[in-house]
Structures are given as structure tokens and as C-alpha cells.
Amino acid sequence: MRAPAGLHLAYVSRAEEAAGWDDVLGIATFSDSPLLSAAAGIPVAQVNTPILAASAHWYEIWSSGRPAESGQHGRVRFRRTPEMLFGCIALAEHDFAGRTAASGERASALHQATAEAYQEICATLEAQGYPHLLRVWNYLADINRDSDGTERYRQFNTARQHALHTCGRAVAGSVPAASALGARSESPLVVYFLAGRVAPLFVENPRQVSAYHYPSEYGTHSPVFSRAALLRQSGTLTLFISGTASIVGHQSLHLGDTAAQARETLTNIEALVGEANRRAGDAHFDLATLAYKVYVRRPADLPVIQAQLTPAIGSKAQIIYLQADICRQDLLVEIEATGICALAAAA
């Protein structure tokens, strides 16, 4: 049975057959999870991050509660309703090796792949009429490795910022919630995203410096994302919490202490939930009703992280654990979350 109209997120361990999938906007798979037989025409982002703490394959499924239409613009595959668009793009870095950037300047393969991915995303949104990027997920191989004279995450940040600026988009303030994680070596750059026709409310964490205002010690170009975005539509509020870690101000805390990093990360998420509730006025998000994706740098740390999360969020919350490198080498865990709650007037 189709869910009520509005955005929905589910982490599922098995796929149902095609009946009832007409409202699915997009899917993300992880590690070696097979593609779904039901997914014909539905964009599928294949993310190469191994699943932890599960023997089954898991899928991240975004749906809308109403029929969706598939399409493609350049290399971006998308599916849309009148209010919302889900899209994804995957580019192999080896296709850019030895090429000269469009500007004529020397640029790494990762820089060129990132720039082209974001330019195609922006072109898709303009062509389809969904001007507002809401939430973006980025996965790149070897995120912490140095190449071409600098860390690959910093190359990614430079290319993302240049591409967005070239496309006439903001690089501070009104920028989407986002995550950027390290996938397995030799993986393509994978970006998937949600966009809409209504602007969200962008939310910052009062405990942290906004990422787009980071000092230059973290790179010549700051990351372009908001700490969270709050979307109001179809009688619901959706809270997109960006990848969040043990950072206060702009500094990493609790170096080498996995349990303390997990606790600090949850404190940051709780602060964002409180700020979102305050800003929205009629929201009632809490830790127990969010859906979580938890990135673990070292698989052996999983029990330590679970021991911190379970008492805080309860045993019924949707949660998936993935092995991935975090954007800073001193961070051992990163958590993103999504909350969807009914508006009081619609209850």
C-alpha cells in the first residue's frame, strides 16, 4: 500500500517486487548489494561502502507517496514528482586521467570529475525546474589520501565550490545539507541528491562554526554545506541532518577515543534537532524518531559505537552502519540523520 503523500525514507533489507514501487524516487545500494529487480526506471546510486552489523543486503529507499516519473539529463539519472526530484551521477576518475580541465589549467582527475558532476547536476535542476538543492551525498575513493600535491578531500572541496560558483549557485549560507565520505579504492565518484521547488530552511549548529566559514587550515576552499536543512511540504516537515562528527567550533575533539567521539557526535545532532525545532516553531523532532546512517572508520570500533548510540536513540530507530573513511583523518565516526514529522495542523 502506498504511503501518504510526502517524502519518506526507509532502510530495507530485502526488496519487494515491482508492485507498489511507482512512488519510489530513488535508491542507494551499498557495497556489493545486488540491484533490485523492481528498480527498472528508478535511479540507483551504487555506493561502495561495506555494510556492517548485518548479514543481509540493505537498501536506502526514498519515496514520495505519489506516482513518480523517470528521466535522464546528460549523465544524471533522475525521478521526479511535481514537488521533488531525486537524482544520481557516477563518474569514473580514470576517464579524466591525462585530460586538461575545461579552464585549460592543470587539474587532478578527481577535480575534473567533481566539477563535471556538479555542473551536470546544476544543469539538470535548471532544465527540470527544481531550483533548490536540499540534500547531497558524495562518495569518493581514498578521501584522506594525498595526491597531486594535496589531500583528495580538499581537491573535492575546491572543485565543488568552483563548479557551484560557475553555475551561479551560493557557496555559503543557502547551501544544501550534505555528506562526503570515503569509498573503497578505485570506486567512481558517486553523487546523489534531493532537490525541490520550495526553498528549505537552512539550519546551523550553535556549537559549531559553519563549515563554509572554516579557517584556511582545513583547505583553501571550505566545504559547501549547511549543518541541516528543514523542508516543509505536504503536511510534513523533513529534517535533513548533514554528516556530523566530533567537532566543536571547528576543531576535532576526543582524538583516538571512539566512545567519546560518538557521544560528542550525538550531542551535536541533539543540538541540531533542538535548533530545528526552535526555528520551525511547530516541529517536534527527537533522537528516537530519526533515521540514522552511521559511518565507521574502523570496523572493530562498531560495538563501542553501538554501545553509545543505543541508549541515546533507542532500539527501534532505523539505523544502518557502513564502513567508510571520514573527511578528517582524526575522526573515527560520522553520523547523518533524517527526520520526518507531521505538522500539528495536519495531525
Torsion, Cα 300 305 141 180, to 10 degrees, reads -170
- Residue 70, C-alpha cell as written in the block: 523517470
Alpha-carbon span 160 to 158, nearest angstrom: 6
Provide DSSP, 229-292: EEEEETTEEEEEEEEE-SEEBTEE-STT-HHHHHHHHHHHHHHHHHHHHHHHSS----GGG-EE
Task: Report residue 184: phi and psi, to 5°.
Answer: -60, 155
Grid cell in block for residue 47: 555506493
Query: HSE on the CB side for 199, CA within 13 Å?
Result: 6
User: Residues with Cβ < 8 Å from 149, sequence gap 6 or more?
Assistant: none
If you ran DSSP here, which 8-state letter would residue 120 be given?
A: H
Distances (CA, A) of 22 to 11, 19, 174, 323: 18, 8, 32, 31
Beta strands 51-52 and 319-323 are: antiparallel
Active site residues: 334
How far apart, in whole angstroms, are the C-alpha atoms of residue 204 and residue 177? 10
> ∠ at Cα 197 (194, 201), nearest 5°?
75
In the chain the first and final C-alpha atoms are separated, in Å, by: 20
Please choose, from the candidates 181, 38, 84, 17, the residue with its C-alpha nearest in 3D space to the C-alpha of residue 27.
Answer: 38
**CA-wise closest residue to 291 among 257, 340, 244, 331:** 340
